[in-house]
Structure 1
Amino acid sequence: MFISYCFIRRKHISSNVGKLQQSDASSRRVVLSPAQPWSSTPLKLCPRSVYRRTSPRRSVPLTLRISVLPTEVIQRIASGEVIDSPVAAVRELVENALDAEATAVEIDIDFDAGNIVVRDNGRGMRPNDLERCLQQNATSKLASLEQLVAGRVHTLGFRGQGLWAISQLCACIEVRSKGETSPCGYMIQYSPQQVETKPVEPVGLPQGTIVQVTGLFCDEQFAPRRSAMPHKRQLRQQLLSFVRATALCHPNVSWRVRDSGRNLLTLYGKLEFSDEESETERAKHALIRMFSQIMEIAPEECGAFASDQVLCVLGYPDRGHHRSRADAVIVAVNGRAVQNADLVNAALSHVQHTLPSGRFPIIFIHIRCPGRDVDWNIHPMKTMMRLRDPEYWFQKLREGIDRCFSMPLSEVSAADLFASTYLRKLIDMEEGALNGAADEPQSNQLLRLEAMTQIGKTYIIATNMESGDIWIIEQHTAHERVLYEKYRDQYTSLARNIVELREPIIMRGLFAQAQVEELRESLGIHMTMIGPLEWKVERAPQMFIEAGLLDPENDCPRSQSERKMQFLLQALGSASSLEDRLALLACRAAVKNGTQLDRERMQSLVDQWLRTKAPRTCPHGRPTFRQLTTRELEIFFRRRYTPQDAADSSDPDLTRKRAPC
């Protein structure tokens, strides 16, 4: 039998394990049997003297004296904050290369040995700058406090901590660099173990800089940090994610990443554009090229928008370019990918009704704001920042996303224009384009589609009379997109326009009081409980009558109208947000598949659909159209083909082959 003993003693307790000796008759013992629960046992608290320490107390000073840390301690703490992993070291070296206006960056890394080599073709450094580059807080990018406060820092780095922090955590660092006007390159080496830095030595080198780091975190004092680092696979993935995000911020730069001599990633950023294109168009085309390489998306299957403040590119969700996680949502500010939850959430909330449920977009957004509107000086790695007016930039972000969706329908697609330029040797061009006399695309030129007929009472067949392309448009999803954006834009007036029903609708349903109040506040639906699970609807929005959700003339049977309203209100009550309710109303009010439409109504629906902001999908993420170009039709019917050696030939006529019959 199990017996529990609780001893409350006043004096000595023997240290002999397994034997408890009672040293005083005044000791108290409470014995608990299994039949005697803890709650029924009166326990008395013993005096404070019972808990008196028997071991000698260590003497502690009554006051704590404050002293300044030694310089070497301060430096070690600072270097550990800046460089916490090999990826952080690569990030610092890459930012220096980009600040030097490099157009090609090569990264060689060995995670096991802690060796890193970063090469670039930037402006390089002069010998006297090379001597000071490894000193703490030595930089050429920031000169005064006024420059920092006024936001006149236009470089990725400005603290002078990168090279110095790496040099404190590695076995040896070697920097070789050649400036624009230097007759030869120069080299400097530094090791934390050596007393003095070796003098600068001349070395043969092309223009640019090479930084070689040996034995990063390999000293015994960094053993805890090494053991706490992620696995090599995770470090490699972090490195590739950083390079991809940085490449999108600087699409004109070419990249190559190797791990222990094995090629991991190669990106080509330099591309020649026509002289007639503006800087904005060049930035847009370069971004599409880099985005298509990184995300493995064809250039014609992504949309882009570029302005002085926002650069945005995304994969079209109607082509299946979306993911189950938000790992392809990249946000950057002034050339650096940042970790800003507010910007990411603003992008996700704006595109949630263009994607299927539970899916996330493939999108890159680059905000270019004045330096005075962003504060970088809040994190050692500068991956976090604060915007002065976040709501203003949220609105610019939303406008850029809308333009990415609407451009292929409202004006000439930047992706299509880029594809026609880049693949000019591989596809058939018009006679004027082959002679270099292609017409300039007109901005804001509305795409004209002429509705021809209807197939299966579901699909509208339209054509572009200028290009001859065929458009197959699903009438329900297209009308659903039209109504959703109409309800969203006119929500304030729609919610206020409430009408009194001629005859109240009586229905049965299970509604919580919170749902009833939410429906009244958001949509103006007034419901009153008249019995167990019985509700009376007396007032409803005018939009319900205009959309055909209510029949004021009582043409349909009353039971059918009540069931229809019951199902609608239950669905609205279970929706989690106002946007979901508006999407549900648009779906219920849109023209149904299987409805016969005349040509005039089809043309009106197509024109309204072309003017929407996100015409590619309905609010639930389903595609709205399919386009068949004349080039695709000619290839399918074998009216056009490309010889195998056409890609390597400079003759434009070689790619223009047609079937003999």
Structure 2
Amino acid sequence: MNKTGSSCIRQAPSTRSFPVHFCSVVKRARRSGLVRPEQPLLCRRKRFHKGLRLVLRVEVLPKEVIQRIASGEVIDTPVAAVRELVENSLDAEATRIEIEVNFDVCDITVRDNGHGMRPHDLENCILQNATSKLRSLEELETGQVRTLGFRGQGLWAISQLCESLQIRTASEGSPCGYMIDYNARNGTTDPVQPVAMSSGTIVQVRGLFQGQQFAMRLAAMPRKTQLRQQLLSFVQATALCHPSVSWRVREGGRNVLVLFGDHHFLDEESEEESAKRALIRMFSQITDILPEECGAFLDRHACCVLAYPDRGHHRVRADAVTVAVNGRAVQNAELQSAVLSHMRRSVPSGRFPIVFVHLRCPGEDVDWNIRPMKTEMRLKNLDQWLQRIRESIDRCFSIPLSELSSADSLAGIYARNAMEAENSAFDGLPHISMHPSLLKLEVVAQIANTYILATNPELGDLWIVEQHTAHERVLYEKFSAQSNRLTSDTVELPVPIIVRAPFAETDVDGIRDSLGIHMTVFGPMEWKVERIPRMFLENGILDLESRNVKRVAEQSFQYLLQTLKSASDLEDQIAFLACKAAVKNGTPLSLERMQWIVNAWLETRAPRTCPHGRPTFRQLNAKELEIFFQRRYTPRGSVDDPRGSVPSRHAPC
């Protein structure tokens, strides 16, 4: 008995103690067979922990639920449907692809001039896991798949999520084409019917995600402007992977994007030169950058094209950095980080480059079985491919023997605008010739004790090189290659230098470990510098021959240490040391000294900019000078214009 006189023995909870809604849940669970009658259920409330316990049975999902989940993983937006159809067109070796979309009702039409399909393949192409690109498990495990698609889920997933799907196709040499209609509402497929059409394939998707069952997904769909931007980004990235393919994107009956591919070969150029020309041309159309302001490199394993940062081509965000593997743009943080870190010292601080890198990896080195959309992958021997990326970028920065003149680029832009206005059938632009051999310059004079004037004896081009930025690039790459000497090769100062600076012990230790500058405490807010790297003396970073050593210690070396301390990493410190040691603007130089700077500058990895992203040179070629002085012009149809043979005209005087 307690103080109130009631019994202290607790009564077992009855069903009346349960909430009404919980009792109804228990009854429905027992009637539906989800729980066994003899098995107790456990109420969520703590005071009923000795009550009944809920046990759910494991059951196999219905077939329609499995198909809906699988199709939703492959196709989540209309852009994903376009991606699957475009990859099928590229696997069919199409050279022209047209995409027409209507995001209001989610209608999609993709046309191509690929190989097409046979009637029997047309009946099987919309079945789940039906594909012509994979035959056995051995091909998948050994990396023998060479196509973009191989799972056989693209067309099937689209057919499960749309109202109707129509495919018309004709193979090369076939007397007619064939058409098949699939009605997703009742799940029926009409018989294959003959139709008149040229070789290729046309896929029409009607009412994607249109229906009450897709209301939740349609409500969470991105806005139309976002879908349009995603579509254009996908097409542009895919076009860079396949520069020989022409593209047209239409929305609402008007052209949104038109890109002209180039799959023609010139008689005097090799296959590699033709592929490089097509890549530069496609990159120029997408970025609206002149072809002569782009650099490209291409070999069997990797290709790279970028816009020269010294011409002002860089952006605030890293949205213009595209990495692709085996014909598909991918999202890989390690590959993108390698590109950004390697080009960090070629663009101004806080800016990002405009670059496209495409790796051609063996099938056994790539694992695509990560996500159904195949936008993520894993690479075997990752370090080797990262090194190939760095080498490709370095080759793009090398200065060719002759760069294109502005007249050639203006002719190309004029031809492209004319073709867009005429809505022509994807004809090519004027051909671009690139010469990969290195440049040879001869120094002739110095202007304002700042700029080196040099010429190319073979072509007659005029080059203006800023002596400080060019020498800074030379020293930066030299110091970077010999960074281990900073700490290993030090010399003792004959007279210690006293530096007054608010350094902490951790700052002093960091400077010693990274740069090899040894300092000890000398007094309050004072430090005694006893040893410095030998490179400081060899490259003029510190001048001990000065008469006023005390002034050097208090001004030059103190400023040097404070700047090195504020640097974020070793690269920033080396860039500052190179800027400190480089010849200053306003310093008169001899012809021999200027020639040495120019020759060493041309041999650097990235001669177009200094380590801080500033340009190093300006070129004026003979054609630009002739056009400026009105000595010669090239009308349409002239010898320089590949569309005609009218001779060039010269000024009368």
Q: If the length of structure 2 is used for normalisation, what is the TM-score?
A: 0.87
8 Å CA contact 2:498, 2:553 repeated in 1: no
Matches within 5 A, 1:470-481: 470-481=462-473
8 Å CA contact 2:244, 2:278 repeated in 1: yes
Query: Distance between the aligned counterparts of 1:109 and 1:228, measured in 2?
Result: 19
8 Å CA contact 1:550, 1:561 repeated in 2: no
Residue 589 in 1 paired to residue 581 in 2? yes
Quote how far apart the aligned CAs of 1:307 are: 0.4
Which of 19, 28, 32 lines up with 1:55 in the alignment? 19
Residue 512 in 1 paired to residue 512 in 2? no
Query: Distance between the aligned counterparts of 2:627 and 2:331, measured in 1?
Result: 45
Quote how far apart the aligned CAs of 1:262 are: 1.7
8 Å CA contact 2:485, 2:533 repeated in 1: no
- Structure 2 CA distance for partners of 1:376 and 1:324, relative to 1, 3 Å: same
Residue 573 in 1 paired to residue 565 in 2? yes
Matches within 5 A, 1:276-315: 276-315=268-307
Query: Distance between the aligned counterparts of 2:119 and 2:392, measured in 1?
Result: 45
8 Å CA contact 1:502, 1:552 repeated in 2: no
Matched residue, 1:234: 226
Residue 396 in 1 paired to residue 388 in 2? yes
Deviations 1:249-283 (A, max 9, x none): 00000000001112100000035331342222111
Deviations 1:475-500 (A, max 9, x none): 00000000000011121234311111
Which of 64, 67, 90 lines up with 1:72 in the alignment? 64
Matches within 5 A, 1:35-50: none
DSSP 3-state at the match of 1:465 = coil
Matches within 5 A, 1:367-516: 367-408=359-400, 411=401, 445-516=437-508
Matched residue, 2:420: none
DSSP 3-state at the match of 2:66 = helix
Q: Which amino acid is the alignment partner of residue 338 of structure 2?
A: A
Which of 181, 185, 199 lines up with 2:191 in the alignment? 199
Query: Distance between the aligned counterparts of 2:235 and 2:281, measured in 1?
Result: 16
Matched residue, 1:122: 114
Gaps in structure 2 of 5+ consecutive residues? 7-12, 27-40, 43-52, 416-432
Matches within 5 A, 1:11-50: none
Quote how far apart the aligned CAs of 1:538 are: 1.0
What's the RMSD between the two structures over aligned residues? 2.6
Query: Distance between the aligned counterparts of 1:218 and 1:575, measured in 2?
Result: 56
Query: Distance between the aligned counterparts of 1:316 and 1:649, measured in 2?
Result: 26
Matched residue, 1:5: none
Which of 531, 537, 540 lines up with 2:532 in the alignment? 540
Quote how far apart the aligned CAs of 1:549 are: 2.1
Gaps in structure 1 of 5+ consecutive residues? 1-23, 27-48, 427-439
Greater mean alpha carbon deviation, residues 209-218 or residues 534-543: 534-543
Query: Distance between the aligned counterparts of 1:421 and 1:594, measured in 2?
Result: 37
- Structure 2 CA distance for partners of 1:419 and 1:631, relative to 1, 3 Å: closer
Which of 179, 183, 196 lines up with 2:171 in the alignment? 179
Query: Distance between the aligned counterparts of 1:332 and 1:305, measured in 2?
Result: 15
Greater mean alpha carbon deviation, residues 493-502 or residues 390-399: 493-502
8 Å CA contact 2:472, 2:578 repeated in 1: yes
8 Å CA contact 1:522, 1:578 repeated in 2: yes
Matched residue, 2:615: 623
Residue 135 in 1 paired to residue 127 in 2? yes
8 Å CA contact 2:237, 2:322 repeated in 1: yes
Matched residue, 1:327: 319
8 Å CA contact 1:425, 1:647 repeated in 2: no
Quote how far apart the aligned CAs of 1:448 are: 1.7
Residue 102 in 1 paired to residue 94 in 2? yes
Deviations 1:581-622 (A, max 9, x none): 110000000000011111111111111111111000000010
Query: Distance between the aligned counterparts of 1:547 and 1:651, measured in 2?
Result: 55
Which of 99, 104, 113 lines up with 1:112 in the alignment? 104
Query: Distance between the aligned counterparts of 2:72 and 2:141, measured in 1?
Result: 26
Matched residue, 1:6: none
Query: Distance between the aligned counterparts of 1:230 and 1:531, measured in 2?
Result: 64
DSSP 3-state at the match of 1:157 = coil
Deviations 1:412-447 (A, max 9, x none): 56x679969986999xxxxxxxxxxxxx9875x442
Query: Distance between the aligned counterparts of 1:399 and 1:381, measured in 2?
Result: 30
Matched residue, 1:244: 236
- Structure 2 CA distance for partners of 1:215 and 1:561, relative to 1, 3 Å: same
Matched residue, 1:42: none
Matched residue, 1:3: none
Query: Distance between the aligned counterparts of 1:71 and 1:144, measured in 2?
Result: 25
8 Å CA contact 1:551, 1:561 repeated in 2: no
Query: Distance between the aligned counterparts of 1:651 and 1:348, measured in 2?
Result: 41
Query: Distance between the aligned counterparts of 1:404 and 1:648, measured in 2?
Result: 26
- Structure 2 CA distance for partners of 1:422 and 1:378, relative to 1, 3 Å: farther
Q: Which amino acid is the alignment partner of residue 215 of structure 1?
A: G
Which of 510, 516, 524 lines up with 1:524 in the alignment? 516
Deviations 1:280-299 (A, max 9, x none): 21111110010000000111
8 Å CA contact 2:487, 2:512 repeated in 1: no
Residue 162 in 1 paired to residue 154 in 2? yes
- Structure 2 CA distance for partners of 1:442 and 1:648, relative to 1, 3 Å: closer
Matched residue, 1:556: 548
- Structure 2 CA distance for partners of 1:179 and 1:333, relative to 1, 3 Å: same
Identity across aligned pairs (percent)?
62
Greater mean alpha carbon deviation, residues 518-527 or residues 318-327: 518-527
Query: Distance between the aligned counterparts of 1:416 and 1:281, measured in 2?
Result: 19
8 Å CA contact 1:288, 1:304 repeated in 2: yes
8 Å CA contact 1:425, 1:646 repeated in 2: no
Query: Distance between the aligned counterparts of 1:420 and 1:241, measured in 2?
Result: 25
- Structure 2 CA distance for partners of 1:402 and 1:651, relative to 1, 3 Å: closer
8 Å CA contact 1:190, 1:198 repeated in 2: yes
Deviations 1:441-475 (A, max 9, x none): 875x4422111111111011111111111111100
Quote how far apart the aligned CAs of 1:132 are: 0.2
Deviations 1:195-254 (A, max 9, x none): 432111111111000000000001111111111111101100000000000000000000
Query: Distance between the aligned counterparts of 1:65 and 1:655, measured in 2?
Result: 87
Matched residue, 2:343: 351
8 Å CA contact 1:365, 1:397 repeated in 2: yes
Query: Distance between the aligned counterparts of 1:489 and 1:206, measured in 2?
Result: 59
Query: Distance between the aligned counterparts of 2:321 and 2:434, measured in 1?
Result: 30
Query: Distance between the aligned counterparts of 2:473 and 2:70, measured in 1?
Result: 54
DSSP 3-state at the match of 2:633 = coil
8 Å CA contact 2:243, 2:279 repeated in 1: yes
- Structure 2 CA distance for partners of 1:659 and 1:186, relative to 1, 3 Å: same
Q: If the length of structure 1 is used for normalisation, what is the TM-score?
A: 0.86
Quote how far apart the aligned CAs of 1:635 are: 0.7
DSSP 3-state at the match of 1:518 = helix
Q: Which amino acid is the alignment partner of residue 501 of structure 1?
A: L
